[in-house]
Amino acid sequence: MKHLNIKASVGVILTALSIAGCSKILDENPRGTFTPEYFKTESGVKAGITSCYAHLRLMYGNGYFINANQISTDESTWGQNSDGNVKNLDFSGVGDIDAATSNTGVLWGAAFPSINTANGVIENGVAAGVATPLIAEARFFRAFDYFLLVQTFGGVPLDLGAGELKFNSSTTRTSKRNTVPEVYTKAIFPDLLSAITDLPDAGRVTGGVTKTAARLFLAKAYLTYGWWLENPNNIPTYPEAARTDPGGHNAAWYYQQAYDIATTAIASPGSFGLQPTFYDVNVGTNDRNNEVILYADHTEKSSYYNGGDLSYSTGGFGTDNFAHWFEQFNYTNVRSSSSATAWNAISTVQRAATQSLGRPWTMLAPPHGVFTNTFADKTNDSRFDGTFVTVYRANFVEAGLKVNGSTPQYVYNANYLPVANGGAILTFLGQDATGVNYDNTTYNSGIGAGVLPGRADFVVEPKAFSRICYPGNWKLGPYRTDNGTGLGQPNGSVTRPFPIAKFSELFFIAAEAAVKGAATKAVSGTYANDGTARGLINVVRARAGKWRWDNGGNVAKVQDNSAAMIAATPATITINYILAERSREFFGEGYRWLDLVRTQKWVELSSSFEIAGKTNANDWKDHTIGTFTRTIVNTNYLRPIPRTSQLDAVEMTDAEKAAYQNPGYH
């Protein structure tokens, strides 16, 4: 299959919404803007479609975007190195969300240029001689962006200056927000229904959108809108609108539609499906597998087409993939000894462009509940092992370490026991243990880790996981084929595709709709089940029980715990159980805040959490458990409209700007 190679250096035609972006594209003449004349040509329309793919990298893989969708949830709080960019969104008393400085504008700034580009493709595609399936790709992306926007900000503009859903090429200094029902019923639903009809079963290029992708997002949009109509906790909306559907349907109707569309996609998956094991979904050697329905692509072959420097990236607000850095602690501070008789500290785990390591920024730390509740089953369920880096291994040979002028055969670690290259230097234990000594003064790990008798590796128990020292996110770690015999380029942009949507999510969407009252029916095909919430969830849980590799042990592990996983599934499935399963499946990938906002469970599940260490996170040895609370009010269920890039750019009175802004952020 043909690959779509893209360079996502986005330019804009001037508007208050940063409308009309474009990207430079391989085999195309680079352009700073899309003009109306260019959009009337076949090459212009095709370039616009490629730009829609390119803009995904402005969000997915961007550390500040994943922060906005992770922090203040039961999955993430601020870490040791967090500044206001991160802390302001945690609601735990360390900052205040601000329309001018909080990084909720990444989405706004990326989505509207792409929406206007999609408008141009849809408006000009037929006349330019572009095939209907290609125009359907633009419809998909327009709906995709509007769906993200409406979940995050509430109602947003459909008119970018030239009329609703029209391509705008002129400077526009005014803006009017549509209501939530208008965004869904005028833009998201029609575009995705059209995309389902016109998109192919298999993508025209590797990573190209398909019927299955459109079905997934339509089912999820129906599900989300159903929750919005029902509004069980009386969360306010903005702009103010009645919780009624223009088409006369109620929440139950939308839940049923979500169920029917998701189960149709499961029964007729096309080229998509579940990977044999959870490990297979996420291991770097198996990137672009058929479980990933949509991703933001990258490459190690070229900085230009990767969208980020291959050797040293600053991780800014561009197209770099650096989200993983936010979820990795600074393991390079761990120390071993070059001597077996006196502690002579040396660095034995250094930065490497391998999936378990990479570049540590320590921005997002997982609270204790992640390990004690969400991932309580670490024996049968492979997803704990397939999500976290629990063992940090020596790489002193690759690092070129010399002791007395020679590469050592061993270094000496806890209890002065020898560790060979590749051996365990630090282990994050799955359970608390008896007799861990954190107060030892002889063997100094450098990170406040403990020592157990007879073990060469330093250890940290779950109760001691802190804002400064915690298991990193293995799933999103770097993978490169050009490391050679060294450490590679761990400071460069991550060159892996960033996953946006997976086939497995269809089971969760259908199960959630079933819990919300959708009538169920048996699902046929490869993933046949009884169609109940429990039956759907058990398809994914059964897969989670299958192992082929043990990350922590770094050994092959062929084991099938599917029966035990199914037996442990509760007879009655609740929304909270589905949310827990979603966390086990998609932890740290940027789903969580949207999941909790959709189901209105944010306060219930995230307003209190525990984590070890002082609040300033400067003391590696402080393992005191602290309980923290978040003050989340109903208006926080919508993010603020960006002030600098949007409100400061429009020609409105102060009163009009205040009316444009979401309540609570004036």
Most confident option among 34-43, 96-105, 362-371, 645-654: 362-371
Which residues, at least 6 apart from 567, have a Cβ–Cβ distance to it below 8 Å?
none
- For residue 486, the model assigns a pLDDT of 98
Residue of 31 and 102 predicted with greater confidence: 102
- For residue 276, the model assigns a pLDDT of 98
| Residue 3 is assigned to a structural domain of this protein | no
Total domain count for the chain?
1
- Per DSSP, 631 falls in state -
pLDDT mean over 255-281: 98
Instruction: State yes or no: pLDDT of 46 exceeds 80.
Output: yes
Q: Token pair for residue 18?
A: 């940063």
Average pLDDT in the chain: 93
Instruction: State yes or no: pLDDT of 529 exceeds 60.
Output: yes
- For residue 645, the model assigns a pLDDT of 85
Pick the range with the lowest mean pLDDT from 233-247, 303-317, 349-363: 303-317
Structural domain of 431: 33-649
Percent of the chain exceeding pLDDT 70 equals 94
| Residue 258 is assigned to a structural domain of this protein | yes
Looking at residue 361, which CATH number applies to its domain?
Answer: 1.25.40.390
- For residue 7, the model assigns a pLDDT of 40
Question: Is 132:140 a contact under the CB 8 Å cutoff?
Answer: no
How far is 169 from 20, CA to CA, in rounded Å? 7
216-243 pLDDT, tens digit per residue, is 999 999 999 999 999 999 999 999 999 9
Question: Is 554:534 a contact under the CB 8 Å cutoff?
Answer: no
280 pLDDT band (50/70/90 cuts)? Answer: very high
- For residue 31, the model assigns a pLDDT of 46
- Ramachandran area for residue 627 (φ above 0: left; ψ -120 to 50: alpha; else beta): beta
Instruction: State yes or no: pLDDT of 364 exceeds 50.
Output: yes
| Residue 624 is assigned to a structural domain of this protein | yes
| Residue 18 is assigned to a structural domain of this protein | no
- For residue 657, the model assigns a pLDDT of 94
111-169 pLDDT, tens digit per residue, is 999 999 999 999 999 999 999 999 999 999 999 999 999 999 999 999 999 999 999 98
CA 205 vs. chain centroid, Å, equals 23
**Number of helices followed by number of strands (H, E) in the chain:** 20, 19
Q: Token pair for residue 568?
A: 């442990």
The strand pairing partners of 572, in sequence order, are: none
Residue of 173 and 3 predicted with greater confidence: 173
| Residue 24 is assigned to a structural domain of this protein | no
Closest CA to 508 of 545, 475, 546, 538: 538
Q: Which residue has the tokens 């223009």?
A: 246
Helix (H) or strand (E) segment spanning residue 146? helix 132-153
DSSP annotation string for 387-440: TEE-EEE--TTTTT--BTTB--SEEE-GGG-EEETTSEEEEE-SS--TT-BS--
| Residue 655 is assigned to a structural domain of this protein | no
Instruction: State yes or no: pLDDT of 28 exceeds 80.
Output: no
Instruction: State yes or no: pLDDT of 5 exceeds 90.
Output: no
How far is 90 from 96, CA to CA, in rounded Å? 8
170 pLDDT band (50/70/90 cuts)? Answer: confident
CA distances in angstroms from 85 to 208, 253, 323, 584, listed in the order given: 33, 40, 14, 27
- For residue 357, the model assigns a pLDDT of 98
pTM of the shown model: 0.95
| Residue 7 is assigned to a structural domain of this protein | no
Instruction: State yes or no: pLDDT of 619 exceeds 90.
Output: no
- For residue 101, the model assigns a pLDDT of 77
Percent of the chain exceeding pLDDT 90 equals 88
447-475 pLDDT, tens digit per residue, is 999 999 999 999 999 999 999 999 999 99
- For residue 316, the model assigns a pLDDT of 84
Pick the range with the lowest mean pLDDT from 101-115, 378-392, 497-511: 101-115
pLDDT mean over 185-202: 98
- For residue 15, the model assigns a pLDDT of 31
| Residue 22 is assigned to a structural domain of this protein | no
- For residue 616, the model assigns a pLDDT of 59
395-410 pLDDT, tens digit per residue, is 999 999 999 999 999 9
Closest CA to 490 of 304, 336, 330, 281: 330
Pick the range with the lowest mean pLDDT from 234-238, 325-329, 652-656: 652-656
